Amino acid sequence: MNLIAKVPPDTQDDLEFYGETVSSRLLLGTALYPSPQVMADAVKASGCQIVIVSLRRESARGKIGERFLELINSLGVHVLPNTAGCRSAKEAVTTAQMARELFGSAWIKLEVIANDDTLQPDLFGLVEAAEVLNKDGFKVFPYTTEDLGAAERLVGAGCRVLMPWGAPIGTGRGLANPYALKTMRNYFPDIPLVVDAGIGAPSHASQAMEMGYDAVLLNTAVAKAADPVQMATAFAMAIDAGHMSRRSGLMETRDMAAPSTPVAGTPFFDLGASSKT
Each residue's pLDDT tens digit, 19-46? 999 999 999 999 999 999 999 999 999 9
Residue 189: per-residue pLDDT: 95
Other CB atoms within 10 Å distance of the CB of residue 32: 14
Each residue's pLDDT tens digit, 160-219? 999 999 999 999 999 999 999 999 999 999 999 999 999 999 999 999 999 999 999 999
Other CB atoms within 10 Å distance of the CB of residue 95: 24
Which of 164, 172, 221 has the alpha carbon at shortest distance from 194?
164
Tell me what the mean pLDDT of segment 6-20 comes to: 68
Active site residue 109: yes
What is the rounded CA–CA span in Å between residue 133 and residue 80?
15
Judged against a pLDDT cut of 90, whether residue 261 lies above it is answered with no
- pTM recorded for the entire structure: 0.85
Question: Catalytic one among 44, 90, 109, 224?
Answer: 109
Which of 235, 218, 96 has the alpha carbon at shortest distance from 169?
218
Residue 2: per-residue pLDDT: 42
What is the rounded CA–CA span in Å between residue 183 and residue 180?
5
CA angle 260, 265, 267 (to 5 degrees): 105
Each residue's pLDDT tens digit, 111-127? 999 988 889 999 999 99
Residue pair 125/89 in contact (Cβ under 8 Å)? The answer is: yes
Judged against a pLDDT cut of 60, whether residue 12 lies above it is answered with no
Residue 3: per-residue pLDDT: 43
Residue 198: per-residue pLDDT: 94
Judged against a pLDDT cut of 80, whether residue 4 lies above it is answered with no
